[in-house]
Structure 1
Amino acid sequence: MKHEFNKGIFMKLLSGKTLTLLLTSTLFSLTGCGGSSDSGGDSGSSGGGSSGTPQWVAGVFAPDSELAGQCAADQTGSELTEKLWLRSWSNDTYLWYDEIADIDPAPFGVIPYFNQLKTQELSATGNTKDKFHSSMPTSEWEQLNQSGAAVGYGAHFFIQQANGTQDRKITVTYVEPNSPASIEHVSRGYVVTEIDGVNVKDAADSASIALLNRGLFPDSAGQHTHFTFKHLDGQTFSDMTLTAQTIVSTPVQNTTTIVTTTGRVGYLQFNSHIATAERGLFDAVNTLSDAGVDDLVLDLRYNGGGLLAMAGQLGYMIAGNQATQGKIFERSTFNDKHPNTDPVTGQALTPMPFFSESLGFNASLLGAGQSLPSLNLSRLFVLTTANTCSASEALMNGLRGIDIEVIQIGDTTCGKPYGFYPTPNCGTTFFTVQFKGENDKGFGDYSDGFVPSVNPTLESEIPGCSLSDDFNHALGDTDERLLNAALYYRANDRCPTLLGKAAKAKPRAQFIDTGFILEDTRSQNVLHNNRILTQSSQ
């Protein structure tokens, strides 16, 4: 069967101000603040009083288009119309719409009401079925999606929560260039021991935990936070005050060529599928192509996802024209009300291809229509952790769907074969699961993540080595555990024999802290663990 993609429609969507589409497949964005199409199989009205004011009637759903943009803030509507829009929009487009309890919205605020418009069911393996339901102010979303701009210090952290067998620990995973943390020479592997005088390990009351969370995850630029860091040697400490600012992330870093006795190996650290990454990937792959690399190690350990179409571009740049020609990158399936039509765009469902041209996500960096470079590789080594999610998983799945050998080194990925269109209404952008993605072979069942295995027996298990992250070496250092294992596997077709329990990836902990959890609950965190189908007008 020939899979076609309407590029004309896609490029037209690129040219206007668009909505963002998150997760595993589909390809469009749209305009407007109101959301999607009429409500499919349901008819009737949520309006009904003698005054014509919209009301909640159990089991009756007005088309969401009739309720969109009726906002309390500008008095074009009310909180009730905003909630009724959310209810109708969810009933029409939510993947598991028939598992939403239809309860009276009156006792809820808008966001609390949205938060319960999702399934409460568990997956077949007993895990939470929908882990990705979220919202954020539209202004923040637009800034975050375009450039990864978010308030912080430029240091990214791995947080080990306290439980019965381990102490709380905060470790720097990597640092953004030219950020406050970088200027103060904070490095990967540094351990935070104190924040504003609160000892990280010993904090055991709600006030102390609140101070730690406030220091780690600042809400506003200009916030000053005092840190004490322990260096890699375990003996040296640095005290410093970092001032939060809006950090524009550098999603593509550390492009290098490693010369081995059996050929050249490219290494590329890719942290997020955001708009600015299109140029970064274009340049990085050109560099590796010019170097004549025979293999590629793609470091996705901190890549929570982003623009799905960009994953389709990267898939092409890895595999090349011959391997991808006539193949699909991902096929989207919506709920049973919409078997053939995308309920958001109104277009007939067509699979997402492997893109061979630039799409102009950020036209000031790279315009649309330029031919992409390719490495023409038949296999890919991928470095992963539990933070590898969504569009990153789609890349792995998409390449496996066209018989590119994927070798996974690291930990089990997050498990998100689902996606959505970020949809704005009344100043808030909402993210609700709307579709599931499958590769060219029809596989998309990895809701518990891709698992590296020396003896794969399930389709969600990938040949490779289960290893924990190594904070004692810089990313891109050939002595770093995951990269070193990838190079060893390449040379020996098996995992290295490593001594010590620390090297083995552990099952994900069920933390039983005494209620004191360090957690980033800011809106900007929504970009992580998402596949975004957003096309930008910039």
Structure 2
Amino acid sequence: MDTTGTHGARWRAGLSGAALAVLAACGGGGSSAPVVEAPQSCSVADQNVWLRDYMRDWYFWYGLSPSPDPVAYTSVDSYFQALLYPGPAQGTTSAFPADRWSFTQPTAEHELFFGEGKTLGYGLFVAGLEILDHPEQPLRVRFIEPKSPAALAGLQRGEQILSVNGRPASELAAANDFSALTPAAAGDLLTLQVRNASGDRTITLVAGVYDLTPVTNTSVVNSGGRSAGYLVLKDFVDQAVPSLESAFSSFKAAGVTDLVLDLRYNGGGLVSTASTLASYVAGSRADGQVFASLLYNDKHSSSNASYRFASLASALGVSRVYVLSGQRTCSASELVVNGLRPFVDVVLIGGTTCGKPVGFLPIDNQCGTTFNVVNFESVNANNQGRYFDGFQPTCAVADDLDHPLGSPSEALLAGALQYAQTGTCPPVQAQTAHALRLKATQRRTPMRSTEPGEHAGMVVR
């Protein structure tokens, strides 16, 4: 099926409400939604039978995955894990690694994020992945949601977390346990010891529901006689679209010559929003062309859909775009990179992306759980996909927590500005030894990273 609209169709699942197809940053609509009967009851036994039948039908790797007897499992989660594709069998070859992306979540959480553009949390995100192999290194704040409890408490990027609820940060890093940063309910408390240039202080955050700010920073940066539009996009949700229009309108009015998209912390979201962003970037050079095609298993090939670049009055139509990336640049963010490549020179500055060319049609089992199961893979207009090892950066630059996002002195943005001016990357020797160690130990991360509180994926709804 070929779809040309950008905000039209909505996915629906049988007896349930909206079923979002998660592909992290790729948008559109117009494929057949899963039609799945609800479980006979919400007993574990009935939920397991329902899950087995759904996975046999809609799971992308249904022909390669195990299919154990549901009676043998006493919890839905343990049965779900047993159904996932484990990777190629020994002695065989396969284009697909093990499924490290499929996950479940409370339906209320899913609908809050994608339906209302809100989330429950503290709004604090730390550089935990960077120190998993180096717990002796300081744990630092990398991002604060602007309308969150953490922002209201004055926490800022770059500050050092000394302890979390009394546990030393080094202990959390050594155990790879950052679960305390995700509250179970509104009103939960998080006590932090924090250090910055002014000294140490203790902060207590109260978990609450807050509005997402998907576009957190837009500015025009002048450097070396060139004018660059800079945009930070954190989440591919519907609520980002008005801010994207405003940003690109201002970029066009300012006559920017270069465009820098900061997707380093963007784990994905809606395919439709990703398609909109790509359309603003490519402009007339890609109008009406295929942005991305979603390909389902052989039982549902009739649901295959192509999403096309839209014609937008505020589009820049640049021939080259600079994307700031890292190991959290995932799914829909990678979809933007892959979808633009046939039409625009995409220069990656930063780190290797996470490697997730697959996505979801999230489905509510009517018992309070939404299953985000890999349903499709994505390819661009040249039929290129399966980038499971991620996209390698053009210029490898370590994340710089010493400067705020958007500062021309911040390492990734400075690298993009230098490349725009000279066509050369920053010298590797200018980066710290610690940064080099981080790049050497960089790993492919699952859709749900070891750091909680963030949503990732490629979703169609």
Range class of TM-score, shorter chain = 0.7 to 0.9
Give the 5 Å matches for 1:44-59: none
Q: Could you tell me which residue of structure 1 aligns to residue 439 of structure 2?
A: 506
After superposition, the Cα gap between the structure-2 partners of 1:165 and 1:532, relative to the gap in structure 1 and judged at 3 Å, is: closer
2:356 is matched with which residue: 405, 413, 416? 416
Cα distance in 2 between the residues matched to 1:36 and 1:118: 19
Q: Deviations over 1:213-250 (max 9, x none)?
A: 32x2222211222211111x4x7212222211112221
After superposition, the Cα gap between the structure-2 partners of 1:395 and 1:174, relative to the gap in structure 1 and judged at 3 Å, is: same
Cα distance in 1 between the residues matched to 2:48 and 2:31: 22
Moved more, 425-434 or 147-156: 147-156
Q: Could you tell me which residue of structure 1 aligns to residue 118 of structure 2?
A: 149
Q: Deviations over 1:366-416 (max 9, x none)?
A: xxxxx55201111100000100000000000000022x0000000000001
After superposition, the Cα gap between the structure-2 partners of 1:15 and 1:213, relative to the gap in structure 1 and judged at 3 Å, is: closer
After superposition, the Cα gap between the structure-2 partners of 1:256 and 1:489, relative to the gap in structure 1 and judged at 3 Å, is: same
Q: Could you tell me which residue of structure 2 aligns to residue 259 of structure 1?
A: 222
Q: Could you tell me which residue of structure 2 aligns to residue 61 of structure 1?
A: none
Cα distance in 1 between the residues matched to 2:130 and 2:435: 19
Cα distance in 1 between the residues matched to 2:222 and 2:133: 45
Q: Could you tell me which residue of structure 2 aligns to residue 219 of structure 1?
A: 184
Higher helix content, 1 or 2: 2
Does the residue aligned with 2:128 lie in a helix, a strand or coil?
strand
| 1:69 and 2:38 aligned | yes
Q: Deviations over 1:80-129 (max 9, x none)?
A: 33222221221122111111222110021223212222211159799952
- Which stretches in structure 2 are left out of the alignment for 5+ residues? none
Cα distance in 2 between the residues matched to 1:375 and 1:501: 38
Contact 2:158/2:401 (<8 A) preserved:
yes
After superposition, the Cα gap between the structure-2 partners of 1:15 and 1:92, relative to the gap in structure 1 and judged at 3 Å, is: closer
| 1:118 and 2:84 aligned | yes
TM-score by length of 1: 0.76
Cα distance in 1 between the residues matched to 2:409 and 2:224: 16
Structure 1 residue 520, shift from structure 2 partner: 4.5
Give the 5 Å matches for 1:356-367: 356=311
Q: Deviations over 1:48-101 (max 9, x none)?
A: xxxxxxxxxxxxxxxxx4xx213424xxxx533322222122112211111122
| 1:23 and 2:20 aligned | no
After superposition, the Cα gap between the structure-2 partners of 1:183 and 1:26, relative to the gap in structure 1 and judged at 3 Å, is: closer
| 1:385 and 2:385 aligned | no
Cα distance in 1 between the residues matched to 2:61 and 2:96: 16
After superposition, the Cα gap between the structure-2 partners of 1:163 and 1:296, relative to the gap in structure 1 and judged at 3 Å, is: closer
Cα distance in 2 between the residues matched to 1:93 and 1:180: 39
Contact 2:68/2:82 (<8 A) preserved:
no
Cα distance in 2 between the residues matched to 1:15 and 1:336: 21
Cα distance in 1 between the residues matched to 2:380 and 2:85: 25
Cα distance in 2 between the residues matched to 1:531 and 1:510: 20
After superposition, the Cα gap between the structure-2 partners of 1:431 and 1:510, relative to the gap in structure 1 and judged at 3 Å, is: closer
Which amino acid in structure 1 is aligned with residue 3 of structure 2?
F
| 1:239 and 2:212 aligned | no
Which amino acid in structure 2 is aligned with residue 21 of structure 1?
A
After superposition, the Cα gap between the structure-2 partners of 1:519 and 1:328, relative to the gap in structure 1 and judged at 3 Å, is: closer
Q: Could you tell me which residue of structure 2 aligns to residue 44 of structure 1?
A: none
RMSD across aligned positions (CA): 3.0
Does the residue aligned with 2:63 lie in a helix, a strand or coil?
helix
After superposition, the Cα gap between the structure-2 partners of 1:15 and 1:388, relative to the gap in structure 1 and judged at 3 Å, is: same
Task: Please identify the structure whose Cα radius of gyration is greater.
Answer: 1
Runs of 4 or more consecutive aligned structure 1 residues displaced over 6 Å after TM superposition: 123-127, 161-164, 203-206
Cα distance in 1 between the residues matched to 2:173 and 2:12: 52
| 1:444 and 2:385 aligned | yes
Give the 5 Å matches for 1:277-292: 277-292=240-255
- Which stretches in structure 1 are left out of the alignment for 5+ residues? 38-64, 343-348, 357-370, 453-463, 512-517
Cα distance in 2 between the residues matched to 1:102 and 1:435: 19
Contact 1:21/1:27 (<8 A) preserved:
no
Which amino acid in structure 2 is aligned with residue 269 of structure 1?
V
Contact 1:331/1:438 (<8 A) preserved:
yes
After superposition, the Cα gap between the structure-2 partners of 1:21 and 1:162, relative to the gap in structure 1 and judged at 3 Å, is: closer
The total of aligned residue pairs comes to 445
Which amino acid in structure 1 is aligned with residue 300 of structure 2?
H
After superposition, the Cα gap between the structure-2 partners of 1:204 and 1:312, relative to the gap in structure 1 and judged at 3 Å, is: closer
Cα distance in 2 between the residues matched to 1:12 and 1:162: 42
Structure 1 residue 319, shift from structure 2 partner: 1.0
Q: Deviations over 1:480-531 (max 9, x none)?
A: 00000110111110102242324446133579xxxxxx9446xx64x22x01
Contact 1:161/1:169 (<8 A) preserved:
no
After superposition, the Cα gap between the structure-2 partners of 1:28 and 1:205, relative to the gap in structure 1 and judged at 3 Å, is: closer
Contact 1:21/1:29 (<8 A) preserved:
no
Contact 1:147/1:274 (<8 A) preserved:
no
Structure 1 residue 350, shift from structure 2 partner: 3.4
Structure 1 residue 26, shift from structure 2 partner: 7.7
Q: Could you tell me which residue of structure 1 aligns to residue 260 of structure 2?
A: 297
Does the residue aligned with 1:95 lie in a helix, a strand or coil?
coil
Cα distance in 2 between the residues matched to 1:228 and 1:218: 18
Q: Could you tell me which residue of structure 1 aligns to residue 238 of structure 2?
A: 275
| 1:87 and 2:14 aligned | no
Does the residue aligned with 2:246 lie in a helix, a strand or coil?
helix
Q: Could you tell me which residue of structure 2 aligns to residue 400 of structure 1?
A: 341
Q: Deviations over 1:162-201 (max 9, x none)?
A: 6675426421112122432222221100110012332222
Q: Could you tell me which residue of structure 2 aligns to residue 533 of structure 1?
A: 460
Cα distance in 2 between the residues matched to 1:476 and 1:433: 34
After superposition, the Cα gap between the structure-2 partners of 1:336 and 1:204, relative to the gap in structure 1 and judged at 3 Å, is: closer
2:193 is matched with which residue: 228, 234, 247? 228
Moved more, 482-491 or 236-245: 236-245
Cα distance in 2 between the residues matched to 1:288 and 1:26: 23
Which amino acid in structure 2 is aligned with residue 355 of structure 1?
A
Structure 1 residue 472, shift from structure 2 partner: 0.3
TM-score by length of 2: 0.88
Does the residue aligned with 1:447 lie in a helix, a strand or coil?
coil
Q: Deviations over 1:453-481 (max 9, x none)?
A: xxxxxxxxxxx211110000000000000
After superposition, the Cα gap between the structure-2 partners of 1:470 and 1:114, relative to the gap in structure 1 and judged at 3 Å, is: same
Which amino acid in structure 2 is aligned with residue 91 of structure 1?
R
Q: Could you tell me which residue of structure 2 aligns to residue 485 of structure 1?
A: 415
Which amino acid in structure 1 is aligned with residue 22 of structure 2?
L
Q: Could you tell me which residue of structure 2 aligns to residue 42 of structure 1?
A: none
Cα distance in 1 between the residues matched to 2:358 and 2:105: 19
